[in-house]
Amino acid sequence: MKKESLVIVGNGMAPGRMLEHLLDNNLSYDITIFNAEPRVNYNRLMLSPVLSGEKTYEDIITHDDDWYKKNDINLHKAEPIASISTENKTVTSKNGKVVSYDKLVIATGSSPIIIPLPGHQLDGVMTYRDLDDVDRMLTVAAASRASKEPLKAVVIGGGLLGLEAAAGLAEQGMQVTVLHLMDTLMEKQLDPSASWLLSEAFKHRDVAVLTNADTEKIVDRGDGAVSGVILKDGRKIPADIVVMAVGIRPSTTLAKDSGIEVERGIVVDDQMQTNILDVYALGECVQHRDTCYGLVAPLFEMAKTLADNLCGTESSYTGSVTATRLKVNGIDLYSAGDFNDGADRQEIVLRDASAGVYKRLVLKDNKLIGAVLYGEASDGPWFFDLLKKDADISEFRETLIFGQAYQGGAQLNPSEAVAALTDDSEICGCNGICKGTIVSAIESGHTTLDAVRAQTKASSSCGTCTGLVEQILTWKLGDEYEAAAITPVCGCTHYGHDEVRHLIRAKSLRTIPQVMQELEWKTSCGCAKCRPALNYYLVCEYPADYKDDYQSRFINERVHANIQKDGTYSIVPRMWGGQTSSKQLRAIADVVDKFRIPTVKVTGGQRIDMLGIQKEDLVPIWRDLGEAGFVSGHAYAKGLRTVKTCVGTDWCRFGTQDSTGLGVRIEKFMWGSWTPAKVKMAVSGCPRNCSEATCKDVGVICVDSGFEVHYAGAAGLDIKGTQVLGHANTEDEALEIIVAVVQMYREQGHYLERMYKWSSRVGHEEIKQQIMENKDKRKRYFDRFVASQKIAQVDPWTERVAGKDRHEFMPLTVVSPAKVTHLEVVR
């Protein structure tokens, strides 16, 4: 009997695997393959090692010429198919060869997406998809090594392929920049924490990573070759080659032209059959149950199904859960399944900061549904297996995250982060005591907190590092040491506020994801409690470099107004020292009329509050107020609110000093600064205290001989008179004392902890000692405040009138009722 004829279009990894299965089943088709590439079958997954120089083309061949000959398979290399006639059951090659088939398999694969940027046809712009691409890159890399300065490569795309290309080119000695459109690398496969680690790892190998980088055009050197790229934000990056690695698109032209159903890919059913009888498709060119795949595992599963069906064994492919592993030397990264958060899901997070390890498992109904592993990914396949099998993990849930080898095993050590600190890391900022000093004190027999304090002075001043000193004791002494309980910042961490602040300083942590990683946060992106706290601590620690994390601020600090119970806002313009003028009052009156503001109220802080403003009106109102000279009064801020004053020597017959002038001066000096909680101040011109300075966070009582500086009062939830910090002879001295004590509070206060609570925690004597007795220390606090003010004093209302954060002030879409009834039916 004559064998049936099987024709395969394409010779990638998927048909290669299918052939192996067919041969295993001893089924004899008369097989003909048409391959557009002039090569035998090779392992495309191994392109990265070829690029980095670890392997050669010969190493990655899976089926050589002999194999085809031995198995009696007719392979036409460099012979693309031009057309298929499904009626006559024939294929015709570009060279005019006609072959008829009984069964046809289309495996045309995919092609890299080329973004049609201006300049994309220039010499030196390439993709990263097949061996020809790798050859081109290797040629450039060789030229780079031969030239004096390394040549520069820009890789567009921070996904799997782009990063592998970037790592390979860097390995070859080129100077590489990765441009990624989104704000984190591999955002489809990784959560933000793992992305951050990945991007750090690339930076360490001198690959520059630019995120939010939208390329505008590729620049011509003048001779048709590329010389660099320009981003939409104006940045220019020089480049000798530009590699586009932004994704793949199923190659479907042939199928489409032959009348086979094509959507994004060639549409196949669960048996891998297209809409035409006896025509099958597999690999990256297909679309199965609405999904197109670009990873190898699903392709192999498809190949198995199709081989079975061609052998007459009924078999179904039902889609794949995919796992991704980044194939870059020294970076261990594995991601599988679905790792989005969800109400019905739980997560287990393990962070080992010292080893750079991050693992996150997502569970649902006691089953593993997603995993991200970074730094130590050897358990990836084991997790993936549990995930695919839908295995019930409740039995070993406690130890699941430690991986296969640790079932029933180890406990986490809470002192790990302390252990990882170097000996010269500063623990006690007040007394300049490093970890090494504390460790040697413990080792020489000082095994209690008091003994360590007495020996080293660590934690003996403000006491905010007490928790850390205790953790060092726990780390050195283990169970012998019983630490006092620390109240954690929130459920996301076991560290308290003091520990977090000290570790940010000691480990020089600079972003929220970095803090969460290094301090082993238990959740992937924190919560509404810890994120604003971390944001403040970083703003305070790195005023010049830290980029404020907008999404970690409460709404009032995002829109610079106060939200009210009905969702409208109130605003309070700044009136320095509580003084105003006819011009200002007229401007306020005009705004109230123009925008029909329902309520106008004089506040307790000597300001005018306008309430009931629609969010969309905020910016136009600020524009009008700004024209009259008003800036934001920060009535919404965890920051300096108001400085109340009385009229002092200007008018009052009892006045002893220019209290209004001093109040205005303090306010102009300190406005715009962020603090742990709100800060309200007042200056009274005499001890009759008309501006009520003795229940403020900071108050000044003017007397004949100068100024009495008070602090730590409250008249809210708690009522508390101020304490006297000290006496100043001059305005300058008073200002220095006030600024210094506020800065000390800024550096030590827990987020949302008012000044009076901070002072009772740290102790009045300690604060007095540092501010009034230690003049050097006071000067340093003052200088640090002044330095941070250089960046802080920008009026947020003016910025928003100029267009900043415009999206915050208008709805995304407003759909009218008329339009709702004429909606387009999408599917």
Partner 1 sequence: MTEQRIKWLELGAFDDIPKLGSRRIELDKMKIGLFRTASDKIFAIEDKCPHLGGPLSEGIVHDNCVTCPLHNWVISLESGEAQGADKGCVRSFPIKIANHRIFLGVSKLHEESA
Nearest distance in Å: CB 360, partner 1: 11
Nearest distance in Å: CB 343, partner 1: 4
Sole binder of partner 1 in the list 20, 171, 191, 736 (CB under 8 A) = 191
Sole binder of partner 1 in the list 528, 544, 602, 717 (CB under 8 A) = 528
Nearest distance in Å: CB 618, partner 1: 13
Nearest CA to 232 among 202, 210, 207?
Answer: 210
Which residues in 340-369 contact partner 1 (CB under 8 A)? Answer: 340-344
**Interface segment toward partner 1; rule CB under 8 A; list 113-121, 150-158, 546-554, 648-656:** 546-554
Based on the shown chain and the rule CB under 8 A, indicate whether residue 116 belongs to the binding site for partner 1: no
Based on the shown chain and the rule CB under 8 A, indicate whether residue 527 belongs to the binding site for partner 1: yes
CB atoms within 10 A of CB 804: 12
Sole binder of partner 1 in the list 2, 148, 565, 653 (CB under 8 A) = 565
Residue 371 or 666 with smaller CB distance to partner 1: 371
CA distance 51 to 59: 13
Contact code string over 192-211 relative to partner 1, x by CB under 8 A: x-------------------
Sole binder of partner 1 in the list 339, 475, 745, 751 (CB under 8 A) = 339
Based on the shown chain and the rule CB under 8 A, indicate whether residue 491 belongs to the binding site for partner 1: no
Based on the shown chain and the rule CB under 8 A, indicate whether residue 311 belongs to the binding site for partner 1: no
Residue 143 or 810 with smaller CB distance to partner 1: 810
Nearest CA to 26 among 307, 296, 282?
Answer: 307
Based on the shown chain and the rule CB under 8 A, indicate whether residue 582 belongs to the binding site for partner 1: no
Nearest distance in Å: CB 489, partner 1: 14
Sole binder of partner 1 in the list 96, 222, 803, 811 (CB under 8 A) = 811
Residue 437 or 570 with smaller CB distance to partner 1: 570
Estimate the crossing angle of helix 582-594 against helix 618-627, to 10 degrees. 150
Based on the shown chain and the rule CB under 8 A, indicate whether residue 717 belongs to the binding site for partner 1: no
Which residues in 40-69 contact partner 1 (CB under 8 A)? Answer: none
CA distance 645 to 653: 15
Three-state DSSP state, 514: helix
Based on the shown chain and the rule CB under 8 A, indicate whether residue 526 belongs to the binding site for partner 1: yes
Based on the shown chain and the rule CB under 8 A, indicate whether residue 815 belongs to the binding site for partner 1: yes
Q: Are 126 and 243 in contact (CB under 8 A)?
A: yes
Task: Encode 550-569: b = buried (16+ Cβ within 10 Å), e = exposed.
Answer: eebbeebbbbbbbbeeeebb
Q: Are 345 and 302 in contact (CB under 8 A)?
A: no
# of chain residues touching partner 1 (CB under 8 A): 45
Based on the shown chain and the rule CB under 8 A, indicate whether residue 524 belongs to the binding site for partner 1: yes
Two structure tokens written together for 708: 């009495």
Residue 360 or 720 with smaller CB distance to partner 1: 360
For residue 724, the Cα-to-chain-centroid distance in whole angstroms is: 45
Based on the shown chain and the rule CB under 8 A, indicate whether residue 803 belongs to the binding site for partner 1: no
Residue 790 or 827 with smaller CB distance to partner 1: 827
Nearest distance in Å: CB 7, partner 1: 35
Three-state DSSP state, 424: coil
Residue 141 or 512 with smaller CB distance to partner 1: 512
Residue 490 or 600 with smaller CB distance to partner 1: 490
Based on the shown chain and the rule CB under 8 A, indicate whether residue 330 belongs to the binding site for partner 1: no
Radius of gyration over every alpha carbon of the chain, rounded to an integer in angstroms: 34
Sole binder of partner 1 in the list 311, 525, 628, 703 (CB under 8 A) = 525
Task: Encode 521-535: b = buried (16+ Cβ within 10 Å), e = exposed.
Answer: bbbbbbeeebbbbbb
CA geometry: angle 485, 490, 496, nearest 5 deg: 40
Cα→Cα distances 642→523, 554, 561, 637, 645, Å: 37, 20, 15, 11, 10
Nearest distance in Å: CB 181, partner 1: 9
Nearest CA to 106 among 298, 329, 265, 322?
Answer: 265
**Interface segment toward partner 1; rule CB under 8 A; list 90-98, 163-171, 440-448, 810-818:** 810-818
Sole binder of partner 1 in the list 87, 223, 479, 566 (CB under 8 A) = 566
Nearest CA to 187 among 46, 335, 331?
Answer: 335
Nearest CA to 737 among 758, 759, 755, 711?
Answer: 711
Task: List strand residue ranges (DSSP E) for 133-278, in order.
Answer: 152-156, 175-179, 208-210, 215-220, 226-231, 236-238, 241-244, 248-250, 266-268
Nearest distance in Å: CB 529, partner 1: 9
Nearest distance in Å: CB 202, partner 1: 20
Sole binder of partner 1 in the list 405, 567, 653, 790 (CB under 8 A) = 567
Three-state DSSP state, 165: helix
Based on the shown chain and the rule CB under 8 A, indicate whether residue 554 belongs to the binding site for partner 1: yes
Q: How many residues are present in the chain?
A: 827
Question: If you write DSSP's letter for every residue of 763-800 in order, what string do you get?
Answer: -HHHHHIIIII-HHHHHHHHHHHHHHHHHH---HHHHH
CA distance 149 to 147: 6
Sole binder of partner 1 in the list 63, 325, 531, 680 (CB under 8 A) = 531
**Interface segment toward partner 1; rule CB under 8 A; list 62-70, 82-90, 767-775, 815-823:** 815-823
CB atoms within 10 A of CB 201: 23
Q: Which residues pair with 426 in a beta bridge?
A: 434
Which residues in 158-187 contact partner 1 (CB under 8 A)? Answer: 183, 187
Nearest distance in Å: CB 46, partner 1: 30
Nearest distance in Å: CB 497, partner 1: 18
User: Which residues are near partner 1 by CB under 8 A?
Assistant: 183, 187, 191-192, 339-344, 523-528, 531-532, 550-552, 554-556, 558-559, 563, 565-567, 807, 811-817, 820-821, 823-827
